[in-house]
Amino acid sequence: MRSPKEIALDQKIIDAAAGLDHTGKAADAARLILKDEEIQSMQEYANTVSIKRLGYNDHGPVHMRTVAYNAVIMMGLLRQAQIKTNLEKEECGSFGDSLTAVFLASSLHDIGMTIGRQDHELHSAYMGYPIIDRILHVLYPHDVSKRVIIRSLAIEGISGHMGTRAVYSLEAGIILVADGCDMKKGRARIPMAMANSPKVGDIHKYSANSIEAVKIISGKEKPIRIEVHMSSEVGLFQIEEILLGKINVSPAKPYVELYAIVNNREPKQYL
């Protein structure tokens, strides 16, 4: 059963998609993906493994929806700045097709956590392949070429979201950044509450617990401005060790401004 937070995020994602793609294809894709029982079950079990078995942070339905929402905001800002996606530049798809690939990658990028942390992005890719194929057959029943293109793009976004494997499309690059932006303290609340003694990796939870908000807005010099608001400088770890690394290897980097703001003081600019 979907939580109230998941339901609220679902509506935000669908509304944002509808506002960006006048054909309605991207909104249809979002509805199909968000109501899919197999995807929901995999997301929920990924969270169980992540939190209860591994003591890690949220990798479940809320995280994957948050990444999808972050991604659709960034895609909208790029479109507003008249930056074309790779599918548009290469003349093999529309903006809506790119957005569909981004939704698929966002929703499935962490399902490999059902197996474990190591190489979970590769597990996510092969586990997600048949699901992507099934959904694309509904969206593009008579267009084999389009199914191949969007499936390939989604798999690139999934397999490259950790920043350890090169990605080359703007769409996959957006997944990297959108994933890195989900760092605010709510994501670490359960592992923090369950912690009984110090262990390796606690810095991730404590640094995330200082992040009050991540804002993705229109930039002054570049299309996308990311502001990370935090209550303590320990939160800088999240930016410097996770988000910045992902942005640096993302094809979206030329379009991103990055700022850290500690206790409403003067912003620290990274990009």
Residues 6+ apart with CB under 8 A from 76: 16, 19, 20
Single-letter amino acid code for the residue at 62: V
pLDDT at site 204: 61
**173 phi and psi angles, rounded to 5 deg:** -65, -35
In which element (H, E) is residue 257 found?
A: strand 256-262
**Predicted pLDDT at 2:** 84
Identify the band that residue 213 occupies on the pLDDT scale cut at 50, 70 and 90: very high
Report pLDDT for 258. Answer: 98
What are the tens digits of pLDDT across the range 233-271? 999 998 999 999 999 999 999 999 999 999 989 999 999
Neighbours of 257 (CB within 10 A): 19
Average pLDDT, the chain: 92
Question: What token pair was written down for 178?
Answer: 């959108």
Residue 99 has a CB neighbour count (10 Å cut-off) of: 30
pTM, to two decimals = 0.91
Structure-block tokens of residue 233:
């400088």
Query: What mean pLDDT comes out for the span 37-56?
Result: 93
Mind listing the pLDDT tens digit for each residue in 120-166? 999 999 999 999 999 999 999 999 999 999 999 999 999 999 999 99
Tens digits of per-residue pLDDT, 168-201? Answer: 999 999 999 999 999 877 555 444 444 455 554 5
Which is nearest to 27 in space by CA: 87, 103, 78, 83? 103
Q: How far apart are CA 154 and CA 171, in angstroms?
A: 8
Nearest to 176 by CA among 76, 109, 254: 109
% of the chain with per-residue pLDDT over 90: 83
Q: Output the CA angle 99-101-106, nearest 5 degrees.
A: 95
**Joined tokens for residue 226:** 């990311």
211-218 and 268-269 beta bridge pairing: unpaired
Question: 46 with 65: CB under 8 angstroms?
Answer: no
Task: Kindly state the average pLDDT of the residues 104-133.
Answer: 97
pLDDT number for residue 192: 45
Domain range annotation of the chain: 4-176, 185-264
Residue with tokens 């990444």: 67
The H or E element containing residue 264 is none
8 Å CB contact between 102 and 174: yes
Concatenating the DSSP letter of every residue in 144-199 gives HHHHHHHHHHHHHHHHTTTSSS---SHHHHHHHHHHHT--SGGGGHHHHHH--S--
Residue ranges of the alpha helices (H) in the chain? Answer: 4-20, 25-34, 37-48, 61-80, 86-89, 95-108, 120-139, 144-159, 170-180, 189-194, 202-208, 236-238, 244-248
